[in-house]
Amino acid sequence: MKFRTLLATVALVSTGLVAAPSVAYAAAPGDASTQALRPCTRTSSGSCIRGGQFCPQSRYGQSGYDARGRRYVCKGSRSHPHWMIP
């Protein structure tokens, strides 16, 4: 079925009845749409991190991302760090 659709599209484009599809470009690195596509940082239980949650001491100073693509940094007290907005 996909082959017939592709064949029909090529035929219509070559006869001039339909315009050729335009090329889609990737979003800029700082764009909000790319942040939403970034995978979230997982907790030890497997869920995505949330602001204010404890983070492992081994992650101190490192960044992580929640399910919505927001960036958090593991900081605060070295003995009990939390995921906080930078």
Please write the tens of the pLDDT for every residue from 10-32. 665 566 655 555 544 454 555 55
Residue 73 · residue 58 · CB < 8 Å: no
What would the two tokens of residue 42 be? Answer: 């997982």
pLDDT tens-digit map of 27-54: 455 555 545 578 999 999 999 999 999 9
Max Cα distance, the chain (Å): 70
Residue 25: its pLDDT value, please?
47
Residue 49 · residue 83 · CB < 8 Å: yes
Q: How far apart are CA 2 and CA 11, in angstroms?
A: 14
